[in-house]
């Protein structure tokens, strides 16, 4: 391994760590969120759950908790309301990002039932420990890439409508993994003639770690 490649590999974790403190996002205030509507996928646990709690305390009109399991979503909603003391703001909508029909139904519901969408936070993700197929492709590709992009594209008209009607600036956020920093060299292995998605769906070529880290 060349000294440059070795250096890049060693510095990557430090670079990620430094960015946590030097490139922090803009802090939201109640003035930023008052009366606004946000959608969070994978909202029943982890960062998605914490994001819901944060937004409901900032005066949002509605926070849609998009979850795959309705029961787990209801349990999370009860916890949000008990921990924040804010009721009637967050609500549960079912969504399986790895099921493209579910994504389409969700987007249709958004268009029909929400007057505005000020933010879409794509937090839902899959990281199975073994190779599995969803919608004809490897599961992490289906959820973390294709399903997430499909949802964003389908909801984009609602975001544009919000701009025109309320003179605001809607946001779309993607939560990703810093693990990709350690697999930069794998980019050279991708056969661009096959197409990136087709190539990383090759189970004989890619390990689970390679797929999850590089593409997602």
Domain map (residue ranges) of the chain = 27-175, 179-216
pLDDT digits (tens, 9 = 90+) for 37-76: 999 999 999 999 999 999 999 999 999 999 999 999 999 9
Percentage of residues in the chain with pLDDT exceeding 90? 59
User: Alpha-carbon distance 15 to 163, whole Å?
Assistant: 36
Cβ(102)–Cβ(67) below 8 Å: no
pLDDT band at 10 (very low <50, low <70, confident <90, very high): very low
Class of domain 27-175 as given by CATH: alpha beta
Q: Which long-range contacts (CB under 8 A, 24 or more apart) does 187-192 make?
A: 187/214, 190/214
pLDDT band at 14 (very low <50, low <70, confident <90, very high): confident
Mean pLDDT of 8-19: 62
Indicate the average pLDDT of the chain: 86
pLDDT of 216 strictly over 70: no
pLDDT digits (tens, 9 = 90+) for 154-185: 999 999 999 999 999 999 999 987 766 666 77
pLDDT band at 191 (very low <50, low <70, confident <90, very high): confident
pLDDT of 1 strictly over 70: no
pLDDT at 207: 63
pLDDT band at 107 (very low <50, low <70, confident <90, very high): very high
Q: Is 94 exposed, middle or buried (0-12, 13-18, 19+ CB in 10 A)?
A: middle
3-state SS string for 37-77 = EEEEECCCCHHHHHHHHHHHCCCCCEEEEEECCHHHHHHHH
pLDDT at 205: 81
The answer to pTM > 0.85 is: no
């Amino acid at each position: 391994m060349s000294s440059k490649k070795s250096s890049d590999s060693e510095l990557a974790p430090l670079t990620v760590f430094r960015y946590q403190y030097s490139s922090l996002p803009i802090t939201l205030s109640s003035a930023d969120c008052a009366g606004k509507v946000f959608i969070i996928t994978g909202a029943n646990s982890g960062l998605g759950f914490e994001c819901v709690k944060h937004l409901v305390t900032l005066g949002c009109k509605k926070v849609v908790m998009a979850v795959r399991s309705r029961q787990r979503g209801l349990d999370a909603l009860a916890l949000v309301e008990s921990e924040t003391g804010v009721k009637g703001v967050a609500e549960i909508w079912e969504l399986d990002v790895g099921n493209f029909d579910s994504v389409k139904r969700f987007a249709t519901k958004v268009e029909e039932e929400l007057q505005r969408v000020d933010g879409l936070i794509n937090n839902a993700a899959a990281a199975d420990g073994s190779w599995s197929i969803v919608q004809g492709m490897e599961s992490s590709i289906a959820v973390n890439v294709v399903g997430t992009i499909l949802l964003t594209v389908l909801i984009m008209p609602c975001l544009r409508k919000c701009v025109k009607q309320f003179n605001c600036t809607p946001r779309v956020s993607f939560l990703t993994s810093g693990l990709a920093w350690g697999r930069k060299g794998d980019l050279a292995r991708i056969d661009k003639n096959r197409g990136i998605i087709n190539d990383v769906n090759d189970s004989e070529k890619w390990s689970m770690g390679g797929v999850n880290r590089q593409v997602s």
